Amino acid sequence: MTTSCSLTNSPFAAITPTYTQVCSNYAAAIESVPNYKMFSVFGKTGLMEYSDVVKVMDVGSMSWEDPTVEGVKPPAREDMAVCYDPKLCRLFFYGGWANRWMEDLWTLNVSPIIGPPYATLSVSPIIGPVRFFSAAL
């Protein structure tokens, strides 16, 4: 947040801040290789003004990106319930406020940004042990 103020020597001088504010948004760091990704979504930007913007920060380089969101974007809102499913690589958003309470459910697939899980949990089909043989010539 950037704030600029004008002051005089009077203790009763008016302070006039000008700033851009986002509040009541959701922000979470999600594990990614090589660096965590910080997602900041939705929120309130002013009096009765709400955001539907999705921003992603690479925690290693501390740089923000504006990813392209495909599909239908949910209406702008604040104060929604959010959870992350690491197996599906999806953020789930429920409800929220935008001059009325919402009762909708949306998902955001973040796998194109964070990549797939990096653990092999199983191999299919199971073929048994693999053996190496050396042939004497």
Percent of the chain exceeding pLDDT 70 equals: 69
For 24-41, write each residue's pLDDT tens digit.
778 888 988 888 999 988
Q: In what order do the strands lie in the sheet with 37-41?
A: 26-30, 37-41, 54-58, 63-65
pLDDT of residue 58: 92
- 55, 69 contact by CB (below 8 A): no
Residue 7 above 70 pLDDT? no
Domain ranges within the chain, ordered by starting residue? 26-112
For 73-120, how does the pLDDT look when each residue is reduced to its tens digit (9 = 90+)?
A: 899 999 999 999 988 889 999 999 999 999 999 999 998 888 765 655
The answer to whether 54 touches 70, Cβ cutoff 8 Å, is no
Instruction: Quote the CA–CA distance of 60 and 52 in Å, as a whole number.
Output: 25
DSSP alpha helices (H): ranges in the chain?
A: 111-114
- C-alpha dihedral (122, 126, 128, 134), degrees to nearest 10: -90
